[in-house]
Structure 1
Amino acid sequence: MNLLFLLVYFIIITAVIEIFVVLFRLTGLKLEVSRFQVISLMTGTGFTTGESELILGHPIRRKLATFLILFGAFSLAVIISSISNFLSDDLRIHDILYLAASVLLIFAVLKLTVIQNLLSKLFNRKMEHTIELGDLPIRDVFLTEKEDYLLNLHIYKDSSLACKSINQVINNHNQLEFIALFIKRGEMKIRRNIYNIKIREGDQLFLFGEKEVITTLFKDDIHIMEETIRNQPLIKPLS
């Protein structure tokens, strides 16, 4: 009986995980990210990774995540109690096996290409009709193509852009595959006349465009930023 209980419990949990992995993938999440986040949500461990923002910033994924969190919180006690009761009575073994078979059937149906296409269209249609652009995560708005790149470039004293404007450093920027979104200067965001404003040390320049173009044009500044951040001393906690 104990072996049967463990087997049925494992089958149900595994099937639920795989069902939600498929659902998350249909919202555009990568397979490896989907599986890790599903397991994290269900078990309540490891969800505080940077990738969790992909879940929290997406309205449909948030709804799926809500179910998983609740399922994970109540499933262990409820399922163990229910299965134990079922297995204590030979006449009820068939019921729990039917439950496991039902979950497996749902998973099998979701693996069908036709069903996945229908759900994918449904999710996209819901996003188009009910979701504001500001509710979407950055990756779903800006990084829709492989070559898309979003850079938060910190300006330091030795940066080529320090005390200069973008126009002074880069000729014919209008012909290149990138744009400057805004300059963050302390608590202020500068959005007007960005290309002619002299950039100061301490500014943050937000750039969007083709990755190869941005990494080539701002190669030196990116290198200075990375080296500066890498060499910054770690702040030790007060003892």
Structure 2
Amino acid sequence: MNLFFLLVYFIIITAVIEIFVILFRLTDLKLEVSRFQVISLMTGTGFTTGESELILGHPVRRKLATFLILFGAFSLAVIISSISTILSDDLQTKEILYAAGAVLLVFAILKLKIVQTKLTKLFKQDLKQNIELGDLPIRDIFMSEKQDQLLNLHIYKESSLFHKQINQVIHDYEQLEFVVLFILRGELKLRKNIYHTKIHEGDQILIFGEKDVISKLFKNDIQIMEEKLKDSQHTPISEHQLSQ
């Protein structure tokens, strides 16, 4: 009886994992990241990876994560209790099957396209109504459209922007679908007159705009940066630096 209970409970846990993978995906989290983080939250292992910031920085995901942590702790207690009473007949098969059926029903409902669409709208509405912009992850703020791109452009001596101003290289920048957010020079962030500031070697220019436009305008500089970064272990600009 107890072995049967453990089997059914394992099915329940698996179904809960899949349910929350779907829910996390509805908040625009990638499938592989969703599954790993759901399992990590339930088991209390591996959640300290860098990807956990995608959960902690998103209000809806934090609520889902809270439930998973509590469910994981409860599940461990149930499994330990079941093993300790392996010789008893206290467990009721009917109630176990009802619980498993209910979880599987929720999973089946969440697989419906119409339900996923409504939940996605609900999650986004919750963000708009209750969350400050500064509380959202960078990806949710900037990457709202397929063509959006956030480029951290490293400048070298070979770069076309080196020792020049942006307005000297791109004359009609005000009419194009991109904007320079700031220039990172060491620990200093330059936010004033950035289009008229002479670019130095080692500068990092944070550019946001349409992907095709950025790729075309900064094609040579991007190629140079990619070649240089291949031969180094330079750490790209972080979300922490962006928030300062």
User: Which TM bucket (shorter chain)?
Assistant: 0.7 to 0.9
**2:53 maps to which residue?**
53
Q: How does 1:34-113 map to 2 (within 5 A)?
A: 34-82=34-82, 85=85, 88-89=88-89, 92-113=92-113
Q: Specify whether residues 27 and 9 from structure 1 end up closer, same or farther in structure 2 by C-alpha distance, changes over 3 A only.
A: same
Q: Cα RMSD (Å) of the superposition?
A: 2.5
**2:193 maps to which residue?**
193
1:150 equivalent to 2:147? Answer no
1:18 equivalent to 2:44? Answer no
Q: Specify whether residues 15 and 233 from structure 1 end up closer, same or farther in structure 2 by C-alpha distance, changes over 3 A only.
A: closer
Give the 3-state SS of the residue equivalent to 2:144 in structure 1. Answer: coil
> TM-score with structure 1 length normalisation?
0.85
Q: How does 1:160-175 map to 2 (within 5 A)?
A: 160-175=160-175
**2:237 maps to which residue?**
none
Give the 3-state SS of the residue equivalent to 1:160 in structure 2. Answer: coil
Give the 3-state SS of the residue equivalent to 1:28 in structure 2. Answer: coil
Q: How does 1:205-216 map to 2 (within 5 A)?
A: 205-216=205-216
Deviation (angstroms), 1:77: 2.9
Q: Any conservation in 2 of the 1:5–1:83 contact (CA below 8 Å)?
A: no
| Rounded Cα–Cα distance in structure 1 between residues aligned with 2:188 and 2:60 | 33
Deviation (angstroms), 1:132: 0.3
Deviation (angstroms), 1:114: 4.6
Of 110-119 and 213-222, deviating more is: 110-119
Of 71-80 and 207-216, deviating more is: 71-80
Q: Specify whether residues 189 and 113 from structure 1 end up closer, same or farther in structure 2 by C-alpha distance, changes over 3 A only.
A: same
Of 145-154 and 38-47, deviating more is: 38-47
Deviation (angstroms), 1:67: 2.0
| Rounded Cα–Cα distance in structure 1 between residues aligned with 2:14 and 2:31 | 15
Give the 3-state SS of the residue equivalent to 2:42 in structure 1. Answer: helix
Q: Any conservation in 2 of the 1:26–1:116 contact (CA below 8 Å)?
A: yes
Q: Any conservation in 2 of the 1:86–1:95 contact (CA below 8 Å)?
A: no
Q: Which amino acid aligns with 1:24?
A: F
Give the 3-state SS of the residue equivalent to 2:68 in structure 1. Answer: helix
**2:241 maps to which residue?**
none
Residues 33-68 of structure 1 deviation map (CA, whole Å, 9 limit, x = unaligned):
322321232233443444333212111101211221
Of 105-114 and 8-17, deviating more is: 105-114
**1:237 maps to which residue?**
none
Q: Which amino acid aligns with 1:164?
A: K
Question: Which sections of structure 1, spanning at least 5 residues, go unmatched?
Answer: 235-239
Of 25-34 and 184-193, deviating more is: 25-34
How many residues align? The count is 234
Q: Which amino acid aligns with 2:41?
A: L
Q: Specify whether residues 122 and 87 from structure 1 end up closer, same or farther in structure 2 by C-alpha distance, changes over 3 A only.
A: farther
Q: Which amino acid aligns with 1:61?
A: R
> TM-score with structure 2 length normalisation?
0.84
Question: Which sections of structure 2, spanning at least 5 residues, go unmatched?
Answer: 235-244
